[in-house]
Structure 1
Amino acid sequence: MNIHAPSPETDPTREDAAKALAVLRRWAGEASLAEIERLDPAVMRLVLGPANSYPDLSREFPEALLVDEAYRATLPDLQNGPASLIRGAAARIQHVGISNFRLPIRFRTRDSGEMLLETSVTGTVSLEADKKGINMSRIMRSFYKRAEEAFSIEVIEAVLDSYKADLDSFDARIQMRLSFPMQMQSLRSGLSGWQYYDIALEVAEQDGVRQKIVHLDYVYSSTCPCSLELSEHARRERGQLATPHSQRSVARISVVLDDDAGVLWFEDLIELCRLAVPTETQVMVKREDEQAFAELNAANPIFVEDAARCFAERLLAEPRIGDFRVVASHQESLHSHDAVSVLTEGSTFAQPSLEPRLFGSLIHGG
């Protein structure tokens, strides 16, 4: 007769597990939390239940903690994780980075001076389809490395090269927005005041081609030529006093800089706009200046189509400018809508679609 001894490999039953758990709980009832933790952290939750198993964490900020390379190496870095962590489509991203990172930057001026101006920075790079993300703080650190330098196109290009290399990207872009002050003389009284111009300076590299672009918002008054003639008709034919309608208007001038033709200063572009459309809004005004401004508007009535072409005429004649775009908005006082126009030269700004809020962004509030 064959006798089979019980096999020690027999799977435990639920009853066996219940007995083992009871033993474990009796032991845990006498043991310290540290002893339970040393046995197995999972035991704490198993024997004490979820409510009592949360570790006793310190609530004091560890001011004395020193971060060395060994500790830093233990920190999780999800953005540099494997492609398996990517969520959504494994697609290339054209722009990823930071927007409205602000810092004071010293800009060079045409008269060899410098101005310290608050600047809003947008910095982006391309991200290949097999990469999870980027360390965005590197973009900011690239700027702070050169924070003491007076910024020029060359310095901005160096910053672009720096964070493009740090982030191992093919394409990159920097845009710096600022409010640039220039003193403006009144028309007749001899007073002067500061006029502020919204300017954006952009350096972009795509597929190995680098472009330098300046955007300027130029604010002017536009008197409607039709309304001017109708007002004169009422005066002449019926002795009726009438005034033509005019309105604050804005042109956003975007130009690609030609590296080989010399420096185009902010002041140069502003003066070019003044030559194209001389009815720039005023800063300091006395009665004689207000009268002069009325005369200046009457001498330069302008439709929005005229404005775009007048700016284009001056831009085409400037050898330091390559491709350009003019976006003009006459914010009508007669109508409850605006009159707008867009004129482009070259391929850089040519596009069949317009940003939904493009013209709305041209409204300059107080």
Structure 2
Amino acid sequence: MRDVQSEPANHRVEVDKVGVKDVKYPIVVLDKAKKEQHTIADINMYVNLPHRFRGAHMSRFIEILNKHRGRMSMHNMEGLLCEIEKTLAADSAHLEMSFAYFIEKAAPISGAKSLTEYVCKFIAAHKKGKLDFILEVNVPVTSLCPCSKEISEQSAHNQRSLVTVQLKSTEFVWIEDVIALVENSASCELYSLLKREDEKYVTEKAYARPMFAEDVVREIAQKLEADDNVTWYTVASENYESIHNHNAYAYIEKKIPR
């Protein structure tokens, strides 16, 4: 049967990324408390395409994914990407894996337990024998405006914020540790379930710890730089402003020579 993809391209131009996007697939990720967690990922898989090939064999991406089903972490990404390169005769391979991660949290006063969702992503690339792996964790938190508190006699505006951390590390990083770092750097963390006594507690906690978006990213950046294993990071905080029709945003990126 004729293999059209392997025929010479009509244009002698290399394609940087070609592959499959938005593949929904069950995966297992490492869980600090329960060892492993089953979830569903949205997966993008790409390779570079030399000009000597007209197209990529898309079915091979799914075949490789089927072979590597199971635990997904920075430990097995290199093997997966190397197989993609070899099977598709490519010089580089790239993978993005976005998934919901759940942590059971107890409300601060009542102790009522509930699951909180955090959207995470593995971003991995392999080229010239080198693996580049990024862990991304999105953490919703509460922020309370220091300026509003200072100028108001009775209250201060507060809102839900989304903090996004991306990092590269020389050692394995638990998702839970990144979440804890972020939540401890905000006005207050979020809970899916709160009773009245809990609501009182989180309201007063946020009021006692007002923070701008700038304050949040700076505090997180300082903590990341104190970790000897972190070699690069980005941290962003977006406040969904409760008194404005726009959002507040702050961002830091830094490469740390080790």
The interval holding the TM-score normalised by the smaller chain is: over 0.9
Paired position in structure 2 for 1:44: none
* Distance (whole Å) between structure 2 residues aligned to residue 323 and residue 245 of structure 1: 33
Q: 1:112 to 1:333 in 2, by over 3 A?
A: closer
Partner of 1:115: 37
Q: Distance in 2 between matches of 1:325 and 1:91?
A: 33
Q: CA deviation at 1:334?
A: 1.4
The gaps in structure 1 that reach 5 residues or longer are 1-73, 233-241, 348-366
Equivalent of 1:129 in 46, 51, 58: 51
Deviation at 1:295, TM superposition (A): 1.0
Task: Spell out structure 1 runs of 4+ moving beyond 4 A.
Answer: none
- Contact kept, 8 Å, 2:187 with 2:210, in 1: the verdict is no
C-alpha deviation, 1:193, in angstroms: 0.7
Whole-Å separation in 2 of the counterparts to 1:123 and 1:340 = 30
Q: Alpha carbon RMSD of aligned pairs, Å?
A: 1.8
Structure 2 residue matching 1:78: 3-state secondary structure: coil
Which whole-Å deviations, capped at 9, do the CAs of 1:38-90 have from their partners, x for residues lacking one? xxxxxxxxxxxxxxxxxxxxxxxxxxxxxxxxxxxx2x32221123x34xxx3
Deviations 1:222-279 (A, max 9, x none): 11100011113xxxxxxxxx42111111111100121xxx321111111121222251
Alpha-carbon contact 1:264-1:320 (below 8 Å) kept = no
Mapping for residues 1-366 of structure 1, pairs under 5 Å: 74=1, 76-83=2-9, 85-86=10-11, 90-111=12-33, 113-147=35-69, 149-232=70-153, 242-258=154-170, 262-277=171-186, 279-346=188-255
Tell me which amino acid in the other structure corresponds to 1:192. Answer: K
- Secondary structure, counterpart of 1:118 in structure 2: strand
Deviation at residue 112 of structure 1 after TM alignment: 5.9
Once the 2 structures are TM-superposed, how far is the Cα of residue 205 of structure 1 from its aligned partner? 2.0
CA drift at 1:174: 1.1
**In percent, how many aligned pairs have the same letter?**
26
Q: How many residues align?
A: 257
Structure whose alpha-carbon radius of gyration is higher: 1
AA partner of residue 276 (structure 1): S
The 1-side partners of 2:30 and 2:217 are apart by: 29
Give the unaligned 5+ runs of structure 2.
none
Letter in 1 for 2:53: K
More strand by share: 2
Q: Aligned-pair distance for 1:102?
A: 1.3
Distance across 1 between alignment mates of 2:189 and 2:33: 23
Letter in 2 for 1:213: I
